[in-house]
A and B are shown apart, each in its own frame.
Chain A
Amino acid sequence: MSQPNRLATGGRIDRGRPLAFRFDGRTLHGYAGDTLASALLANGVHLVGRSFKYHRPRGILGLGAEEPNALIQLGRGNRTEPNLRATQIELFDGLDAQSQNRWPCLRFDVGAVNSAFHRLFPAGFYYKTFMWPPALWKTYEEVIRNAAGLGKAPEGPDPDRYERMHAHCDVLVCGGGPAGLAAALAAGRSGARVILADEQSEFGGSLLGEADVAIGGSPATDWVAEVVAELESMPDVTLLRRATVNGYYDHNYLTVAERVTDHLGVGLPTVPRQRLWKIRAKRVILATGAIERPLVFRDNDRPGVMLSSAMRGYAVRYGVLAGDRPLIVTGNDDGYRTALALADRHARVAGIVDLRAEPEGPLVEAARDRGIEVFAGHSVAGAHGGRRVEAAEIAFMTRDGSGITGGTRTIECDAIAMAGGFNPTVHLFSQSRGKLRWDEERAIFLPGTSHEAEVSVGGCAGTESVAQAIKDGIRAAVEQVRDLGHTVRQPAAPAVEEPGQGAGNRVIWMLPSTAPVGRKGKHFVDFQNDVTAADVMLATREGYRSIEHVKRYTTTGMGTDQGKTSNVNALAIVGQTLGVDVPAVGTTTFRPPYTPTTIGAYGGRDVGRLFAPVRTTAMDSWHRANGARFEHVADWMRAYYYPKDGESFRQAVDREVTAARQGVGVLDASTLGKIDVRGKDSAEFLNRVYTNAWAKLGVGRCRYGLMLKEDGMVMDDGVTTRLADDHFHMTTTTGGAARVLNWLEEYLQTEWPEMDVRLTSVTEQWAVASICGPKSRELLGRICTDIDLSNDAFPFMAMQEGTVAGIPARVFRISFTGELSYEINVPTRYGLALWEAVMAAGADLGITPYGTEAMHVLRAEKGFIIVGQDTDGSVTPLDLGMDWIVSKQKPDFIGKRGMARPDLSKPDRKQLVGLYTKDPNEVLPEGAQVVETLKPKPPMAMLGHVTSSYYSPSVGRSIAMALIKGGHARKGQTLHVPLEGRTVEVTVTDGTVFFDPEGSRRDG
């Protein structure tokens, strides 16, 4: 249970709750309240990973989201997660973590051989090599791919559940440090609806890691607790912990990734694992703090080299000393706070290397008073050590900081804290399209011009003092809520005691050493992607001068940390190399998400059964019970065919087709689109949207219509029936129903608003059983006694209302098969009853349910087209040989002008023809291409393709339709269909009606 680096007292850990965990198979112990990183450090584990390219040993650099190095594979099997930052994993009992990117193990990693050849691997080396011989690139690439990547994906499907949540608020406060808490409190007291989200397990932000700040005379964390308690008591305030505001989208729409159960180590049945909040906020207060900047010095990546604030945070918040003998390297007073905090906790501080020539002020004095040696005006010329830093070489700098003077001196140390100043966390501000402003004096980017209704406060606005952050938070919230019309109830800003920050930060972008950068050792800028200062300078030298070029060429800032610690250093080094100021190099644009976010959380519940809706008809249960096979048609599941006793697909379809031709068949036609058209201008409206004439259609009569787009291409078709002078029942294709309704609505609302026409989708209101075949009249007669079914009383293309099987029905005598046929429409809730009644009444007639495939065969035998199968958006009615349905009289209809364009009447257009194969049993595959002149091998010029092809039991041979260049003039021609490995000879038929061309069957 020994945790050698754990202090005896202090920290926000619960020493009463020890936890056991595993790292690379080794069992270690920590406490509740630890992160994996703090627990590893407590156990003296500094080496936690290997770098991406050189496989250099790497330790923990940061304290939170900024961590570039300590990436961990957590868990195993289907629940494993790669690339998690150890600094953000809350410790739980039984946690099982493994290091990544090493083989066979972390201490002895074969990949480290790359390090030996590092001189051959500068930035962008792969663009310059691996080119010869060309055939070997695949092999090179395989090696590169296997070497790249970080952790491993899970092995199987994710057992956990995710959820998305919509929310609205007056004020969304992003970040629960001093500024954010104060803002939330001010807004909450004023009665605003507030959401406060923070990525950590508890609120408090930086205050959780500071020992030298008191608020209202008590430790700062007491103030945090009070504020949180008050916020929790407010009904209109929502507090989200473990919730990272990760995306800032248009019009104040933000996403928050909440990790609901990850810290427990197990899922809970009642809650999702993670929740993606989608919040529309009237106002946003950004209080996202600041991230410390590493210093760029030689071999600054040795395990044990950390951010100063992180080293202090581990000591104060977790009671862990990252080193027994730490060296502080700083350009500012904040580094002294770390030195003092560590010294207070029994560390033997090895010294403070201050980049400033003459540091002064209370913190400096305090350090000196404690006997800590201050090396003013010094540089760290390099770090020594392998798997752990062992010493630092320091040297006095020239006045301008560009070089060192005199010799170097070696200081033994087992940790180095880097205090390079703080970069405001402007990521969300930048995501919102706010413009960043470069503060030359402080060498930081600050929020500049806003794009959205937001305001930045605290560390992310460049504020360094807690007192000021609290004041700013209150002021910002008050301004926002007053603006929104709330009565302001402003909390008083508490008194804050904190160390005064003296002279500013001295910024030296690359600490001078004994040799120029690039000549000796490595000065890392981007730790995760192994990008050095020399790489950045090389890119610049090679002409990659925009920061975006530098990023892409060197990959700096492109790691999983998205450059949180490296971006500004890289920008500045480019600027320094080119001799221009930082804004001239560019600012990088930050993109969502702020920290990597689980794919499953974005998908939410829209997976598996809920991925996409499935529409089923009222008769679906019957089809299932009776062995139907289904096919997806648009959103619908339709019965495809009903195999009996081991029948093949073809046998079943042949049987269904034959039954419909010789006896009686029934099709579930419920999925056809149906639109109720009403109003006194309805007939005129149909005149405009169909190619044929509608004014004179009698009440109770049906007509087939073709709809075109304005370009003259066929869009949809269907039969429309006049129910009354001002009332029509329109049908559309199954797949086109929604599109047609939208299309018609658009014309009505935007082009012809003066027309009195109302459209209602009634697809779901009517269930349809279509009975077909010579015995269909007899069948219908058995279950419908109030309609005279005689041919004279109820002719083809007519509709009658009556009662079928005791159900009020509309019966349409229309036919998509050429047979005597009735489409019986009943209210959907009676659909199954109707179907069962039809089946029962037809039992002795041999009634045969048929599916969509038989329907396709039946219609093809008659040469009826299916829009979307025999057309593809590039086919006109003339191409289909359907001139008969295009009115010559009407002055205008949609598509008329489009059809008149010159290219649409060219004789070599693709036109619909019928095809017979030479061998009557050969069924061409649909989609097969037709050629005029065969060549021994491709390429060969194609005439067009087979759109429909079936074996026709009625004709006793195969039939096909095809769209063929100049097809209408090719009757009788022999053409060829070259298939893989063989060729089929075909003849163009006379027309596309293969069966009953006289139409003698439709009246029974």
Chain B
Amino acid sequence: MLLITCPYCGPRDDAEFSYGNQAHIARPVDPSVCSDQEWAEYLYYRDNPKGPFAERWMHAAGCRRWFHVVRDTNTHAILQTYKVGEWPDPAIDPREGTS
């Protein structure tokens, strides 16, 4: 049972949260100009690293707010939690092209 620190409520069991997969994927501003492949990537393709991963969680049994977590998918270590609109600490930012 992961212990996830909701930025609004504090540390809670993972059973209180729902999962939202990879973070920082913006919906295309104008979907009509996306190619079929680009749209497929927006819909279905997500990073799936073995290691640190910036992902979304929602505190379903608490404040019901979405937030971000950098978590190691191999060790389950939680490296950072932060609010929507914020960014991972550059030192641990797992996103492509940022480290």
Q: Which residues of A does B touch, CB under 8 Å? A: 249-253, 278, 280, 433, 451, 710-711, 742, 745-746, 749-751, 753, 891-892, 896-898, 900-902
- With known contacts A742-B18, A746-B58, A751-B27, A891–B32 Cβ distance under 8 A: yes
Report the minimal beta-carbon distance from A565 to chain B, rounded to whole angstroms.
31
Decide if B34 touches A251 in the complex (CB within 8 Å). no
B31 interface residue per 8 A CB criterion: yes
The CA of A891 and the CA of B29, in the complex, are separated in Å by 11
The CA of A891 and the CA of B30, in the complex, are separated in Å by 8
Task: List chain A residues, Cβ under 8 A from B66.
Answer: 745-746, 749-750
Can you report 17 A-B residue pairs in the complex whose CB atoms are below 8 A from each other? Answer: A249-B1, A250-B1, A251-B1, A253-B1, A280-B3, A745-B66, A746-B66, A749-B65, A750-B20, A751-B26, A891-B32, A892-B31, A892-B32, A898-B39, A900-B32, A901-B39, A902-B36
Decide if A251 touches B32 in the complex (CB within 8 Å). no
Partner of A892, one of B30, B65, B84: B30
Decide if B31 touches A896 in the complex (CB within 8 Å). yes
The CA of A461 and the CA of B43, in the complex, are separated in Å by 50
Q: What is the 8 Å Cβ interface bit string for chain B, positions 73-91, against chain A (1 contact, 0 not)?
A: 0011010000011000000
The CA of A745 and the CA of B59, in the complex, are separated in Å by 12
Task: List chain B residues, Cβ under 8 A from A753.
Answer: 84-85
B13 interface residue per 8 A CB criterion: yes
Task: List chain A residues, Cβ under 8 A from B31.
Answer: 892, 896-897
Given A278-B1, A745-B58, A750-B66: 8 more A-B contacts, CB < 8 Å = A249-B1, A250-B2, A451-B75, A751-B26, A751-B27, A753-B85, A892-B30, A901-B39
Report the minimal beta-carbon distance from A134 to chain B, rounded to whole angstroms.
42
Chain A residue at minimum C-beta to C-beta distance from B40: A901
Report the minimal beta-carbon distance from B72 to chain A, rounded to whole angstroms.
11
B64 interface residue per 8 A CB criterion: yes
Chain A residue at minimum C-beta to C-beta distance from B20: A746
Task: List chain A residues, Cβ under 8 A from B76.
Answer: 250-251
Report the minimal beta-carbon distance from A940 to chain B, rounded to whole angstroms.
33
Chain A residue at minimum C-beta to C-beta distance from B78: A251
Task: List chain A residues, Cβ under 8 A from B84.
Answer: 749-750, 753
Chain A residue at minimum C-beta to C-beta distance from B33: A897
Report the minimal beta-carbon distance from B16 to chain A, rounded to whole angstroms.
12
Chain B residue at minimum C-beta to C-beta distance from A255: B1
The CA of A249 and the CA of B3, in the complex, are separated in Å by 10
The CA of A753 and the CA of B27, in the complex, are separated in Å by 13
Task: List chain B residues, Cβ under 8 A from A892.
Answer: 30-32
Partner of A897, one of B34, B65, B75: B34
Task: List chain B residues, Cβ under 8 A from A898.
Answer: 39, 43
Task: List chain A residues, Cβ under 8 A from B60.
Answer: 742
Most buried by B among A249, A251, A433, A750: A750
Report the minimal beta-carbon distance from A895 to chain B, rounded to whole angstroms.
10
Task: List chain B residues, Cβ under 8 A from A902.
Answer: 36
The CA of A252 and the CA of B56, in the complex, are separated in Å by 23
Task: List chain B residues, Cβ under 8 A from A253.
Answer: 1, 3, 13
Chain A residue at minimum C-beta to C-beta distance from B67: A749
Decide if A901 touches B36 in the complex (CB within 8 Å). yes
Report the minimal beta-carbon distance from A579 to chain B, rounded to whole angstroms.
33
Chain A residue at minimum C-beta to C-beta distance from B14: A250
Report the minimal beta-carbon distance from A893 to chain B, rounded to whole angstroms.
10
The CA of A278 and the CA of B3, in the complex, are separated in Å by 13
3 nearest CB pairs, A to B:
A897-B31, A251-B3, A253-B1
Chain A residue at minimum C-beta to C-beta distance from B44: A711
The CA of A902 and the CA of B37, in the complex, are separated in Å by 11
The CA of A278 and the CA of B64, in the complex, are separated in Å by 24
Chain B residue at minimum C-beta to C-beta distance from A247: B1
Chain A residue at minimum C-beta to C-beta distance from B34: A897
Report the minimal beta-carbon distance from B50 to chain A, rounded to whole angstroms.
15
Task: List chain B residues, Cβ under 8 A from A250.
Answer: 1-3, 76
- With known contacts A710-B43, A746-B66, A901-B36, A251–B2 Cβ distance under 8 A: yes
Report the minimal beta-carbon distance from B64 to chain A, rounded to whole angstroms.
7
Chain A residue at minimum C-beta to C-beta distance from B38: A897
Report the minimal beta-carbon distance from A745 to chain B, rounded to whole angstroms.
7
The CA of A253 and the CA of B20, in the complex, are separated in Å by 23
Q: List CB contacts (< 8 Å) of B4-39 with chain A.
A: 13, 18, 20, 26-28, 30-32, 34, 36, 39
Task: List chain B residues, Cβ under 8 A from A433.
Answer: 75
Chain B residue at minimum C-beta to C-beta distance from A249: B1
Task: List chain A residues, Cβ under 8 A from B28.
Answer: 897
Chain A residue at minimum C-beta to C-beta distance from B30: A892
Report the minimal beta-carbon distance from A193 to chain B, rounded to whole angstroms.
16
The CA of A251 and the CA of B84, in the complex, are separated in Å by 24
